[in-house]
Chain A
Amino acid sequence: MTTTIDPPERRETAADKLRQGRHAISERWHHAPRWVRWVLLVAVIAFFYALPNKEFYQYLGPIPTPGANFTQVMFTVSIYVLLAVGLNIVVGFAGLLDLGYFGFFAVGAYTVAVLTSPSSDLKTLWPWLAVVAIAIGLTMVSGVMLGTPTLRLRGDYLALVTLGFAEMIRIAAVSSEFLKGQRGFNQIPHPPGQYADGRPWFGVLDARPYYWLVLTLIILVVIGVRNLTHSRVGRAWISIREDEDAAQLMGVPTFKFKLWAFASGAAIAGLAGALFAGKQNFVNSQNFELLNSIIILAAVIFGGSGNIVGAIVGGGLVAYMIERFRGIELFGIELYEYRFLFFGLVLVVMMIFRPQGLIPNRRRAAEFKDRRKEVIVGE
C-alpha cells in the first residue's frame, strides 16, 4: 500500500471523512433520547407500510419502478429482505459461509406447493395457513440434516457442501416427477381472510396485502433475531465466528450453536418460501436458480454482514436495484438486460471503498450510559 506514490494520503482523508460522517450519524442515533428513536423508528415503519399505495408513491419522484408494477416489486423486495435477515444469522453472526441458502427457500415453497396444490400427487389440498408451520418445520429439519454432517467442516468445505445442497434441491425440482419440474404446481391457495363483502384479503391482482403481511412478519422476525443476538446465543455465534477453537475452550458447545444458527436461518427461509408460494399461486423449478443464493449472499455482505439493519438495507437495496433497471432504455439498450453487470460493478466499487458493507457490524456498547461514564474516567 505504501509503495504507490500518491494515493495513500488522499484516500485516507476521503475514507476518514466518510467514516466520520457515518460515525456522527450513529453517534447521534445512539445519543438521541429514547422517545426520539422510537418516533423515528415508527416513522420509518409507517413509511414502508404506506409505500405500495399509489396515492403515496406517486409523489416519490424516481423511486417507483417505471418498468414494473411497483407494488409487485415491493413484494419481491420484502421477500429478499426476509431472506437477507435469515442468511445474516448464518453468515454474519455465526460466520458460516452458506452458498446454498436459497435451497431452504425452495424447500419452504415446495412444501407448501406439494401439500396444497391440486396438481400435487398427494392431493391433500390443505389450506395455506395450516401448511406454513409445516413448511417452517420441514425447512428447519432440512437445515439440521444438512448441518449435522457438514458443520464439522470449516470454511471452504462448508461453502462447497452448501452449494451442492442448493443444486441438489434445484435438480430434484427440475427432474423429479413428484416435484413436477417445469410444469410446476398451480392453484396454490392464498392466505385466508376476507372482507365483509366477501372479497378475499389476499387476491390475485393486488400485491399490497402480501407485502404488508411480509412486512409485518419481517418486524416479528427481526425482533426475534435481535433477542437471540443480544443473548447467550448471539455471543456464542459471534465467538464462533471470531475464533472457533477459543470458543470451544471457553465452554461454548460450538457444534450445537452452529446447528442452531443453521436451523434458525433455514426456518426464516422456509417462511419466506411459504409466503412466496402463497402469493405466486404457482411454483416451478425455474424459481430457484443458483443465482438467487448468490444475490442474497451479496446483499448481506453489501449491507454489512453481522448487522441486522445492514442486512435489511442490503437485501432491500439489492432486490430493488435489480428491478429498478427494468424499462429503462439508454441508447436503445434495455438496461435491465445488463442489470447484473451494474450489480457486479457496484459490488466491486463497494469492496474497494467500503469492504465492511454499508452499515458495518460496529456493535456498540450495551448501555451508553456506561460508555459516557467510561469516557469521563478515561479523561
Chain B
Amino acid sequence: MSDTEQTPAVPAQAAAPAVETVDKREPLLEVDHVTLRFGGVVALNDVDFTLYKGEILGLIGPNGAGKTTCFNAMTGIYQPTEGQIRFLGQKISGKKRHQITRMGMARTFQNIRLFPEMTALENVQVGADAHHKTSVIAALLRLPRHWKEEREGREKAERLLEFVGISNRMHEFARNLSYGEQRRLEIARALATDPKLLCLDEPAAGFNPAEKEELLQLIRQIRDQGVTVLLIEHDMRLVMGVTDRIVVLEFGKKIAEGLPAEVRDNPKVVAAYLGVPDDAA
C-alpha cells in the first residue's frame, strides 16, 4: 500500500501548486443518481455528480438543502433508497463504516466530535491506528509489531499536529483545546487515516475572517499533497476562494454544477441564495 507516501505531513512541500499534474478525468467518488427518503420526506432527490482525483469540490446550498445528508450517505451512515455511491469504483453501501475509512475516505464533523478525554496526540493516533494490525495478543505481549506500529503512529501523529499547527498542544486533552484548535485537531485526526478523500463538513463554522483565511491555506496544502477534498460550506465566498468545482444543492436536488465563476453567475444559484425578486419570477 502506498499509504505512507500519501501522508500529507510535510508542510515544506506545501508551497508548490500541484493542480496541473492532476488528471481531472479520473473519478474518485461517484454519486450515481442517489435518492434518499426518510418516510415521506425526500432528503435527496436524484443527486448525481462525480468527484475527480486531486480536486477540491465544494458542495454548497442554503441551510437544509441536504448537504450533510449527502455527506452522510457518502460516508456510509445512510443507505441510499435509490441509486448508488461508488468510491474507487466500489459500491459503498453494505460496507461497514470502519471499512470505508480504511478504503480511504475520512471526514470531520459539523459539530466537533473529538474524543474529549484523550490528548490531542492520542486523538490523532486513533486515526493512525486505522491501518494498524496489532492484535490484542500482540499488544498484551508487546510483540515487535506493537512497538513498530506504536512508533510509526506516534511519529505520524506528531507530524500531522505540526502540519495543522497545534503541535505545542500535543499533550493537552482535546476538551481543553480552543474551538479553533479542536477544528484543526479533527482535520489532523482525519488525515491520520491516510485518506484519498477528505470530507470537511463546514470546517469554517464559527471562524472569524482571519481564521478562515488560515483554514483555506491549510485546505490547499492538503490538496497539494494529493488528497482530494470535498468541502461542505454554506458560506459562498469561502467556497469560491478555494474550490476547483462546485455542486449546488437545494431542497435535496442538484441545481447547478461547474466552475466557481459559472456557479456564481448561475441565475438558479443566485435565486436559491438570495430569493427570486417578484418581478423576475
Contacts and interface: CB of A to CB of B under 8 A. Distances in A.
Interface of A: 224, 227-228, 231-236, 238-239, 241-243, 245-254, 260, 264, 306, 361, 363-366, 370-371, 374, 377-378
A250 B134 contact: no
Given A231-B150, A370-B171, A254 B118 contact: no
Nearest to A246: B113
Contacts of B134: 231-233
B107 A249 contact: yes
Interface in B97-156: 97-98, 101-102, 106-107, 109, 113-119, 121-122, 125-127, 129-132, 134, 136, 139-142, 146, 149-150, 153-154
A263 B220 CA distance: 45
B34 interface: no
The 10 closest A-B pairs by CB, nearest first: A251-B130, A231-B139, A365-B171, A242-B115, A251-B101, A248-B97, A246-B113, A232-B129, A233-B139, A239-B126
Given A234-B139, A235-B122, A242-B115, 9 more contacts: A224-B140, A232-B134, A232-B150, A238-B115, A238-B122, A246-B109, A250-B190, A251-B130, A364-B171
A40 B119 CA distance: 28
B136 A250 contact: no
A243 B182 CA distance: 15
Contact of A227 (B109, B121, B140, B149): B140
Interface in B163-193: 168-171, 189-190, 193
Contacts of B139: 227-228, 231-234
A304 to B, nearest CB: 13
Given A231-B150, A232-B149, A245-B113, A250 B168 contact: no
Contact of B146 (A231, A253, A363): A231
B140 A238 contact: no
Contacts of B142: 227
B75 interface: yes
B116 A242 contact: yes
B118 A370 contact: no
Contacts of B154: 366
A371 B114 CA distance: 21
A238 B117 contact: yes
Interface string B183-224: 000000110010000000000000000000000000000000
Contacts of A374: 168-171
Residue in B102, B107, B127, B136 with the greatest tally of chain A CB atoms within 10 Å? B136
B98 A228 contact: no
A243 B115 contact: yes
Contacts of A365: 119, 171
**For chain B, what secondary structure do more than half of its interface residues adopt (helix, strand, loop), or is it mixed?**
helix
Contacts of B106: 249-250
B121 A366 contact: yes
Contacts of A241: 117
B140 A228 contact: yes
A346 B186 CA distance: 40
Given A233-B136, A233-B139, A374-B168, A250 B127 contact: yes
B98 A251 contact: yes
A252 B98 contact: yes
Given A231-B150, A232-B139, A264-B136, A249 B101 contact: yes
Interface of B: 75, 77, 96-98, 101-102, 106-107, 109, 113-119, 121-122, 125-127, 129-132, 134, 136, 139-142, 146, 149-150, 153-154, 168-171, 189-190, 193
A243 B113 contact: yes
A235 B150 contact: no
Nearest to A371: B171
21 contacts: A228-B140, A231-B134, A232-B139, A232-B146, A233-B136, A235-B125, A235-B126, A238-B115, A238-B118, A243-B114, A246-B109, A246-B113, A249-B75, A250-B130, A251-B101, A252-B129, A253-B98, A364-B171, A366-B121, A366-B154, A374-B171
Contacts of B149: 232
Nearest to B141: A227
A238 B125 CA distance: 12
B145 to A, nearest CB: 10
Contact of B129 (A227, A236, A242): A236
Contacts of A231: 134, 139, 146, 150
Residue in B75, B168, B190 with the greatest tally of chain A CB atoms within 10 Å? B168
Contacts of A239: 115, 118, 126
Residue in A242, A364, A365, A370 with the greatest tally of chain B CB atoms within 10 Å? A242
Contacts of B127: 250-251
Contacts of A238: 115, 117-118, 122
Nearest to A253: B98
B223 to A, nearest CB: 21
Nearest to B109: A246
Contacts of B113: 243, 245-246
A107 to B, nearest CB: 20
Contacts of B141: 227
Contacts of B101: 248-251
Contacts of A235: 118, 122, 125-126, 129
Residue in B114, B122, B142 with the greatest tally of chain A CB atoms within 10 Å? B122
Residue in B96, B129, B149 with the greatest tally of chain A CB atoms within 10 Å? B129
Given A232-B132, A378-B168, A242 B118 contact: yes
A363 B119 CA distance: 9
A95 B140 CA distance: 20
Contacts of B102: 251
A235 B106 CA distance: 18
Nearest to B97: A248
A247 B96 CA distance: 12
Contacts of A228: 136, 139-140
Contacts of A371: 171
A254 B136 contact: no
B25 to A, nearest CB: 29
Nearest to A378: B168
